[in-house]
Structure 1
Amino acid sequence: MRNEIALCRRCELHRSRTKAVPGEGNLYSKIVFLGEAPGKSEDEEGRPFVGAAGKLLTKLIESLGLRREEVFITNVVKCRPPGNREPKVEEISTCSYFTDAIISLINPLLIVTLGNYAGYYIFEMKGGVRWLGVSRMRGKLYRFKVLGRERALIPTYHPAAALYNPQVLAVLQEDFTLIKNYLQGFEGGRRGLLKFLRGGSL
């Protein structure tokens, strides 16, 4: 699939990209972090969340007691929109061919959506749940069927929104505490968490 994404010409974003960004991490993880679109650094390296927002996301993942390599990280569009503009709904829809395949392959029990477009994709496009925006949807754990399986969903802000806004950062940290509390519901502490990452259920 990585090669197919690298060669993809399904939408106009392929014209301006340097490298497509399929995603990376543990293919057996039961946690997927879903962002919006690659930025400049990601476009250059072909990896998700490697810029300033990525460094913050890595720290937030580590606050869960996890390493970045233990989860899977991807975006709803795999190519950088020109000028770092927001992805268009039709681009998200076109790229869902790959996003759906990635989620189905990894088959996560928990999806953390980062930003409005990731939330819209999971909740409204795939779950049939009306998306009211991050500010109204965050702070809660949801459960509904996504791509043929009931999953836990936690929506929050994109780390980029928190880089220069202490209030958003505080909210983002609060949401990651919610994620941590959910994960700590697995018996056995770290051992139970590893079981979850390898396919257990709560």
Structure 2
Amino acid sequence: MALDEWLVEELGFGPVWVRRGTHADAVPAPAGSGEAPIETQPAPVRAAMEAEPVAVENQADTADARAPEPPVAPDDDLPWTDEAPSHAPAVTVDVPEDIDALDWATLSERVAGCERCRLCERRTNTVFGVGDPEADWMLIGEAPGENEDKQGEPFVGQAGKLLDNMLRALSLSRESNVYIANVIKCRPPGNRNPEPDEVARCEPYLRRQVELVKPKVIVALGRFAAQSLLRSEGSIASLRGQVHEYRGVPVVVTYHPAYLLRSLPDKAKAWADLCLARKTYADALAALGVEAGADKAARR
């Protein structure tokens, strides 16, 4: 199957054939295209999409705020609203003096027994990371959800399947040439956003993981991961489309896969972000005088 056909089938980036509706169901065609207005989703699909909750800055002050989010199957773990900014204060905590000297095995053991914050009290497993420890690509998400907490691996369930499909479209895989980690290694209760002190106490582990992997590019998955890595309060919309930096490594920001499960139109934006990450990776190799596809030793 050709790549473009695969993207249409797996990621939903292609056109959707729908029944023609009324004028209210159409959107204008691109300027200068000479095409007729494009029909949107049919009524049943459109109604389902319109029923999704919308993030608002202050729901108490918004008269037409939508109803509370309906229950979601635990397999999805969808606490994110990637478009909304946050305003968490910065917190400074003590960093273990030996953290920068830990190898992979010792670092993993340290995380497994970590009690630096109260998240340890209710976890089932810590979620250290998964993938190639010498990968050129590193993906960083927010925190474990229910399924990750049970299995001890990041990005499982429906969001994990979508992420795997996105990686496959770039000829990447968590088994061979990608390393995946989270900002937080323990699941916050109820999948809430981690508190600033929890982030500060866990960040040294992530920093050491980045130092050990030595990636050529980092993809920050979701608002919280992006804000934590970049020390920013910006929304996804303001952080996308640019190349940022974390400790000397280029960072590209995109939506969290769990968010994309709820916001299908943003899949196309996520694909554009991944294409920017691919270009950033190619530029990093070119700066080293290495061609894409060279063996790993040559890239290091």
Report the TM-score range of the alignment, normalised by the length of the smaller protein: 0.7 to 0.9
The higher radius of gyration belongs to 2
Whether the aligned pair in 1 keeps the contact of 2:250 and 2:280 (CA below 8 Å) is no
* Corresponding position: 1:115 with 2:222: yes
Separation (CA, whole Å) in 2 of partners of 1:121 and 1:197: 29
Separation (CA, whole Å) in 2 of partners of 1:198 and 1:140: 29
Deviation of the 1:182 alpha carbon: 3.3
Deviation of the 1:197 alpha carbon: 5.7
Separation (CA, whole Å) in 2 of partners of 1:131 and 1:107: 26
Whether the aligned pair in 2 keeps the contact of 1:28 and 1:199 (CA below 8 Å) is no
CA distance change for structure 1 residues 197 and 176 in 2, over 3 Å: closer, same or farther?
farther
Whether the aligned pair in 2 keeps the contact of 1:156 and 1:175 (CA below 8 Å) is yes
* Corresponding position: 1:141 with 2:247: no
- Structure 1 counterpart of 2:276: 178
Q: Quick one: which of 200, 206, 213 aligns to 1:93?
A: 200
Please give the TM-score of this superposition, normalised by the length of structure 2. Answer: 0.59
2:299 is paired with a residue of what secondary structure?
A: coil
Runs of 4+ in 1 over 3 A off after TM superposition: 181-187, 191-199
Whether the aligned pair in 1 keeps the contact of 2:127 and 2:148 (CA below 8 Å) is yes
Deviation of the 1:171 alpha carbon: 1.5
* Corresponding position: 1:3 with 2:102: no
- Structure 2 counterpart of 1:68: 174
- More helix, by proportion: 1
- Structure 2 counterpart of 1:30: 136
Whether the aligned pair in 1 keeps the contact of 2:130 and 2:174 (CA below 8 Å) is no
Separation (CA, whole Å) in 2 of partners of 1:73 and 1:50: 11
- More strand, by proportion: 1
Deviation of the 1:65 alpha carbon: 1.3
Separation (CA, whole Å) in 1 of partners of 2:160 and 2:270: 14
Matched residues, number: 189
| Unmatched segments (≥5 aa) in structure 2 | 1-106
- Structure 1 counterpart of 2:260: 162
Whether the aligned pair in 2 keeps the contact of 1:119 and 1:131 (CA below 8 Å) is no
Separation (CA, whole Å) in 2 of partners of 1:156 and 1:119: 8
- RMSD of equivalent CA atoms: 2.0
- Structure 2 counterpart of 1:127: none
Separation (CA, whole Å) in 1 of partners of 2:293 and 2:109: 30
CA distance change for structure 1 residues 196 and 173 in 2, over 3 Å: closer, same or farther?
farther
1:193 is paired with a residue of what secondary structure?
A: coil
Please give the TM-score of this superposition, normalised by the length of structure 1. Answer: 0.85
| Unmatched segments (≥5 aa) in structure 1 | 125-129
1:33 is paired with a residue of what secondary structure?
A: strand
Whether the aligned pair in 1 keeps the contact of 2:116 and 2:201 (CA below 8 Å) is yes
Separation (CA, whole Å) in 2 of partners of 1:167 and 1:108: 30
Greater RCO, 1 or 2 (C-alpha within 8 Å, sep 6+) = 1
2:292 is paired with a residue of what secondary structure?
A: helix
